[in-house]
Amino acid sequence: MKKNAPSIQDILAFIAVAQYASFTRAAEFFGTGKAGMGKAVQRLEEHLGTRLFQRTTRAVTLTEDGETYLEAARAAMEQLNNAESILAARKDKPNGRVRLDIPVGFGCFIIPELPRFQKQFPEVLLELSLSDKASDAVGEGWDIVLRVGELPADGEMIVRKMCDLSLGFFASPIWLKSLPPILNISDMLDQHAIVFRAASGVLRPWIITDGGVLKEIIPSRKTVIRDGRSIVDAVRAGMGIAQIFTLVGDVYTENSELVRIFPDQNIPGPPVYALIPVGTKMPLKTRVVLNFLAELLQK
């Protein structure tokens, strides 16, 4: 039968007896009876299968095994005390590692802002993954997972809505110069499209306005790509027109790598959610990262 692990109280009793070389003085230190100290050491000796003290009417001295165990016990207690101090400090100041999983396409506007976050919170260390797959925040150990679109209810997750995205049509300026002017939706639909295929295998349709009514279409002439960053790279390379989130596309219009077609037309897009594992209280380190992401997404 597997032995039960010794209790912290029994180990502390052993350390006290060793320090004072006396069961009586150790008991006085703890404010308990001498018999209780003796039973604590006895339980520890039974668990370890060895004697820790030589006891006489005049003295209590450590055995060789006792000296070995005392060194290890003191080191372990010191590590626990250090850990408690670190955890106590984190309650007042963000400190520690935060594991973050975000959509691939969001990297272009989130990563350039991270130096600002590091300057503000130097003790928070980020472990960052860019992925469009449906990550299991609990099973994979993520602290925050950002995902786009409606999400099923999950009892093991806290779901926080971060923002609603808008959609726009983008193309490279060099590619557009090779085409006749695009004056309306019909002109655009005649051109080569770049379309996203979700992890589920479903093609994400373009959403267009037709007489003030929103409609979904799948362009007939298209290149299909499975991750958001590669879609942006394909548009920048001049492969065609793509409908992408304006939050992402506008990053590249600012440096003239992309042109937004119909810039006055804002088409409502899907929501962005943050998934956080359920806990008694969100750590401060996680909260400051979550608030920082909300600030970026709501620009």
Question: Where do runs of H (alpha helix) occur along the chain?
Answer: 8-20, 23-30, 34-48, 64-92, 107-110, 114-120, 173-177, 185-189, 228-236, 246-253, 284-297
Could you give the 3-state DSSP secondary structure of residue 231?
Answer: helix
What SS3 state is found at 191?
A: coil
> Is the pLDDT assigned to residue 295 strictly greater than 80?
yes
Q: Is the pLDDT of residue 153 over 70?
A: no
Phi and psi at residue 215, to the nearest 5°: -130, 150
The confidence score (pLDDT) of residue 277 equals 82
User: What gap in Å lies between CA 51 and CA 84, rounded to an integer?
Assistant: 31
Evaluate whether 236 touches 172 at the Cβ level (below 8 Å). Answer: yes
In 3D space, the residue among 48, 42, 67, 58 whose CA is nearest the CA of residue 5 turns out to be: 48
How would residue 88 be classed by pLDDT, with cut points 50, 70 and 90? Answer: low
The more confidently predicted of residues 141 and 100 is 100
The CATH topology of domain 97-157+276-297 is: D-Maltodextrin-Binding Protein; domain 2 (3.40.190)
Q: Report long-range pairs for 153-158 (Cβ below 8 Å, ≥24 apart).
A: 154/275, 155/278, 156/277, 156/278, 157/275, 157/276, 157/277, 157/278, 158/275, 158/276, 158/277, 158/278, 158/282
Residues forming beta bridges with residue 193, ordered by sequence position: 222, 241
Q: What is the pLDDT of residue 57?
A: 77
Q: What is the pLDDT of residue 1?
A: 42
Domain-wise residue ranges, the chain? 8-91, 97-157+276-297, 165-270
Share of the chain above pLDDT 90, in %: 43
pLDDT score at 138: 60
Residue 280 confidence (pLDDT) above 60 = no
Amino acid letter for position 66? G
pLDDT in tens, 157-200: 788 899 999 999 999 999 999 888 888 888 888 899 999 988 77
Supply the CATH classification number for the domain 165-270: 3.40.190.290
**φ and ψ at residue 41, rounded to 5 degrees:** -65, -40
pLDDT at residue number 243: 96
In whole angstroms, what is the distance from residue 52 CA to residue 17 CA?
Answer: 10
Residue type for position 203: L
Q: Is the pLDDT of residue 154 over 60?
A: no
Tens-place pLDDT, residues 172-182: 999 999 888 88
- Whether 20 shows a pLDDT value over 70: the answer reads yes
Selected from 1.10.10.10, 3.40.50.970, 3.40.50.700, 1.20.1050.10, the CATH number assigned to the domain covering 8-91 reads 1.10.10.10
The chain-wide mean pLDDT, for the chain, equals 87
| Amino acid 135: pLDDT | 61
Q: What mean pLDDT do residues 217-230 have?
A: 90
Average pLDDT over residues 264-287: 85
- What's the rounded Cα separation, in Å, for the pair 262 and 171? 11
Residue 31 has pLDDT above 60, yes or no: yes
Cα–Cα distance between 147 and 163 in angstroms, integer?
A: 11
Q: Token pair of 96, please?
A: 């520690």
Distance CA 18, CA 12 (A): 10
User: Each residue of 244-268: pLDDT tens digit?
Assistant: 999 999 999 999 999 999 988 889 9
Given a contact cutoff of 8 angstroms between Cβ atoms, the answer to whether 158 and 276 are in contact is yes
